[in-house]
Each structure stands twice: as structure tokens, then as C-alpha cells.
Amino acid sequence: MGALYAAGKKPSELIELIHHFNLNDLYRRRPEDGPAIFGHAGLIEVLSDVLGDGDFSQLKIPFGCTAVDLNTAKEVYLTSGNVLEAILASSAFPGMLPPRPWNDYLLVDGGVLDPVPVKLARLLAPGLPVIAVTLQPPPEEWGRLPEADIIDTAPLPIPHRLLQGFSRLRIGQAVKIFTRSMDINSRMVAELRLMIDRPDVNIRPNVIRFGLFEQVDPDILADLGRQAASEKYAEIVNAASLSGKIRRLFRQIAPTEEPAVLARGDLERDSSREREAT
């Protein structure tokens, strides 16, 4: 959604677009898709209608997204080249959506290493406050969270009765244990990155009850987002004030290794190869 907003879409237009999403169609596979349960076919069609073959330089607002290269185990910042290609790489949830190969890179969802990319936001707009949106509650509330259950919520092309039967088998229970464990791990990664990167404001909409691939009314999500933002209004005003600017100017950030940034040529060259292949 961030890329579409950066391309000039209004929030009301984004909500209307999401209303027309059909998850079963959105994540259908193509013959050339890599190893994953789902594919990018529907997502490519939807985003192509809005973004076309647009480049980062054509966006109205500075935008970037993150991915992780499986070959080097490093975070990659996607800030130039083909926007659609960058989105597909940044949203390639491991195992669920296919990784995106570019030259020597094999890219998956940036959330593997950086679920809330505060540092990238600072690089894009160094003088502005970073307002992070964290889609999970604070750690002290984790014990009250519902179990993550991809088997029951994912739009798999399998009758629900068969899925329920599978979930009662030993292997189904093992999958649930694995997904619950990885969910805890990803939440902890997010909290650690927030502690390190320290956004100026951290907004936490109460959306944890919704599954990763669950069909959700976007109006409900928008209302929850507005409510969470209004609760942080005073912090947002303070972050944008003169004192907030001074704090950002003198903030001491421990030096860390910068992730690789894909060159514009890499993105454009590889996206054109895929178009030729398809």
C-alpha cells in the first residue's frame, strides 16, 4: 500500500481498491513461479493496473522497501528501478510466496530481518520524524494473543473440511507448532529492531486478531489505524516540533553495517528479462 500511496493514490482510493481484492485470485500461482504455496499472479495484475511499468523516480513521494537476500543473509534496500518488481520481492513471505531472483540475489520479504524498516525511512527523509506502524502489541501482551493458524486462514485451494482434518493429524499439529514458534520469533525480531532503530513515534493498531492471509474488511482496518494514530497525536506533534528536530539532530546512533542497495540497472534489467520470459 505504501507504494500506491507514494504513486499518488488517496487513502479512500486504496480502501476502495482493497474492497475488490479476492485472496483466492490475488495469490494464484503462475507456471514460472518459484517454490511456494501461493503465487503472485493476481497481485501482479492488480499492481500493474495502478503502477504500470513505473520507476521509483516517477513516484510523487520518496519510497523504498526492504528485502532479504537468501544467498548472503543480508538486508537489501530497494529504492530504485521498477517499483512492481521491488514490491514483489519485499512481499515474498518465505514459503508462502515465491522468492524473486535478480542477478546474484534471491530476495524474500524484508520482514525476515527488519519488520519495521525505521532506518530506511530515515535514509529517505533524514530531517523528518519517523512514525512507525507496528502490527503487533507490546511484548507484555503476547501471552494473551490468539494462536497464529495459517492452515485455517490461508486461501488454500483445498476444501475446508480437508484442512480441518489435516490440522488434527500429527503433521498438521507439527505445522501449527512451527508457525506459532516462528510467529513468536518474528515478533521478537520486530521489537529488537524497534529498540535499536528507535522511531520517533510508534503506533500499534489493534490488528493482531487478523490472520496473515485472512480476508478482512478494509474499513475496519482503517478505523483501527485512525484510532491508534489519534491516541499518539500528542507524540506526533512533539516529534514534528522544534525540540523534536533538535533531538533528531543530536541523536547518537550506534554505527551498523549498511545493507546493500540494488542498483537501478539491476532492477530494470531483471524485470525486463522476466517480461521476455513470460
Instruction: Please give the pLDDT value at position 276.
Output: 44
pLDDT reading at 69 higher than 50 = yes
**pLDDT, position 200:** 93
Mean pLDDT of 165-192: 81
Q: What is the pLDDT of residue 254?
A: 45
What are the pLDDT digits (tens) for 23-35? Answer: 778 888 888 888 8
How far the first Cα of the chain sits from its last, in Å, is 25
What confidence score (pLDDT) does residue 19 get? 84
Segment 195-205 mean pLDDT = 93
Residue 39 has pLDDT above 70, yes or no: yes
Residues 215-241, mean pLDDT to the nearest whole number: 91
Q: How far apart are CA 3 and CA 83, in angstroms?
A: 8
Residue 79 has pLDDT above 80, yes or no: yes
Task: Give the whole-angstrom CA distance, residue 84 versus residue 145.
Answer: 34
Please report which confidence band the pLDDT of residue 274 belongs to, taking 50, 70 and 90 as the band edges: very low
Stretch 34-63: mean pLDDT:
87
Quote the pLDDT of residue 229. Answer: 95
Look at residue 149 and tell me whether its pLDDT is greater than 50. Answer: yes
Nearest one of 60, 113, 59, 67 to 86, comparing CA atoms: 67
Q: Long-range contacts: 36-44, Cβ < 8 Å, 24+?
A: 36/92, 36/95, 36/96, 36/97, 36/98, 36/99, 37/95, 37/96, 37/154, 37/156, 38/96, 38/97, 38/154, 38/155, 39/97, 39/98, 40/88, 40/97, 40/98, 43/88, 43/91, 44/84, 44/88
pLDDT at 155: 58
Cell of 232: 499518539
Assess whether pLDDT exceeds 60 at residue 253.
no
Look at residues 53, 56, 82, 60 and name the one whose alpha carbon lies nearest to residue 6: 60
Q: State whether residue 132 is helix, strand or coil.
A: strand
Output DSSP code: residue 200: S
Sequence-separated (6 or more) residues with CB below 8 Å from residue 27: 38, 39, 40, 41, 42, 43, 97, 155, 213
Q: Which three cell numbers stand for residue 118?
A: 525505521
- Cβ contact 83:267 at 8 Å: no
Asked if 132 and 203 touch (Cβ cutoff 8 Å), the reply is yes
Q: Give me the mean pLDDT over the 248-262 stretch.
A: 59
What are the E-state strand segments in the chain? 65-69, 74-78, 100-102, 105-109, 131-133, 201-203, 260-261
CB burial string 19-41: b at 16+ within 10 A, e below: eeeebeebbbbeeeeeebbbbbb
What is this structure's pTM? 0.80
Q: How far apart are CA 165 and CA 161, in angstroms?
A: 6
The pLDDT of residue 129: 92
Higher pLDDT, 178 or 202: 202
Note the pLDDT of residue 273. Answer: 42
Tell me the pLDDT of the chain averaged across its residues: 81
